[in-house]
Amino acid sequence: MELEQIKAIIAMMKENDLSEFSMEQDGLKIRIKRGPEGFQQTVSVPPPAAVPVIVAPSAPTAGVSASPTEAASAQAAAVASDAEIKYITSPMVGTFYRGPSPDAPPYVEVGKQVDEETVVCIIEAMKVMSEIKSEIRGFITEVLVENGKPVEFGQKLFEVRTK
């Protein structure tokens, strides 16, 4: 659900003088209450790791409507910070490889769940192949380096979304 859609719902509620709106769709539940104190919004996202739409990057400030209440933005913001972006960075200088050998499949792809011990790539230096562990718990949202390219110390290799 996009911010625009929520705005549209709120506008519709105002227009039609509705005091409560709730909806369930694709594993997402949303309930908006309109009362004397202004809008309140509860958003709940079910436990399995579905994509939490409300906290999509496009709405980081979580301003839900034209006149968001403190509570609404605070709640939305709270949901936003639950899912953090972290990066797996290179601990050495060398050449980055997605998999253990040229014909083997990559260790990880976008969407793959990783924990601290998961091997995510190989960095080769001086003919020695070092397996690089994730050290972050979450799932891969982006692969930031091309297979076979050189990497330096501290360079971001993978974007990981934690929960």
Q: In what order do the strands lie in the sheet with 85-89?
A: 85-89, 156-161, 138-143, 113-114
Q: Give the one residue of 52, 68, 94, 138 binding other proteins; rule: CB under 8 A.
A: 94
Helices (H), the chain: 3-15, 70-82
What are the beta bridge partners of residue 128? Answer: 125
Shortest CB 145 distance to other proteins, Å: 13
Q: Is residue 95 within the footprint of other proteins (CB under 8 A)?
A: yes
Helix and strand tally (H, E) in the chain? Answer: 2, 11
Shortest CB 149 distance to other proteins, Å: 10
d(CA 105, CA 109): 10
Coil, helix or strand for 126?
coil
- In the region spanning residues 109 to 128, those forming contacts with other proteins, defined by CB under 8 A, are 125-126
Shortest CB 98 distance to other proteins, Å: 17
Q: Is residue 93 within the footprint of other proteins (CB under 8 A)?
A: yes
| 33: phi then psi, degrees, rounded to nearest 5 | -115, 135
Shortest CB 62 distance to other proteins, Å: 33
Binding mask 135-154 for other proteins (x = CB under 8 A): ---------------x-xxx
By CB under 8 A, name the binding residues for other proteins.
92-95, 125-126, 150, 152-155
